[in-house]
């Protein structure tokens, strides 16, 4: 008997739309679990919660947004001088008022 190809192979049964659906489902679920591992407080992986993996701290504001969202140890907003309206080193003495 000659070898013949069967009619009902897997691509014919599911179709390319089915394959595209499964690939999209896998990608969406991988994205969901990755975001959950990064941003969730209960299910967090500390190696993924490093903002320098996603943005450069010199060029992008996204680094600092992630830094504060991940709970970075330095929070300059707590050190902000509302009298001078800038965040800098804490003044050791109150500002001197001149009579000029």
Q: How many CA atoms lie within 13 A of 1 on its CB side?
A: 3
pTM over 0.75: no
Give the separation between CA 97 and CA 100, rounded to whole angstroms: 9
Average pLDDT, the chain: 75
Give pLDDT, residue 38. Answer: 86
pLDDT digits (tens, 9 = 90+) for 5-36: 656 555 556 677 888 899 999 999 999 998 88
The domain ranges of the chain are 15-79
Say which residue the tokens 């000659």 belong to: 2
Give pLDDT, residue 97. Answer: 73
Give the separation between CA 20 and CA 14, rounded to whole angstroms: 10
pLDDT digits (tens, 9 = 90+) for 30-65: 999 988 888 888 877 888 888 888 888 888 788 888
């Amino acid at each position: 008997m000659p070898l013949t190809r069967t009619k009902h192979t897997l691509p014919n049964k599911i179709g390319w739309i089915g394959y595209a659906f499964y690939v999209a489902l896998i990608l969406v679920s991988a994205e969901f679990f990755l975001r959950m591992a990064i941003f969730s407080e209960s299910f967090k992986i500390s190696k993924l919660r490093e903002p320098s993996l996603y943005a450069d701290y010199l060029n992008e504001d996204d680094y600092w947004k992630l830094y504060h969202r991940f709970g970075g140890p330095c929070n300059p907003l707590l050190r902000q001088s509302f009298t001078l309206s800038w965040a800098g080193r804490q003044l050791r003495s109150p500002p001197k008022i001149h009579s000029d």
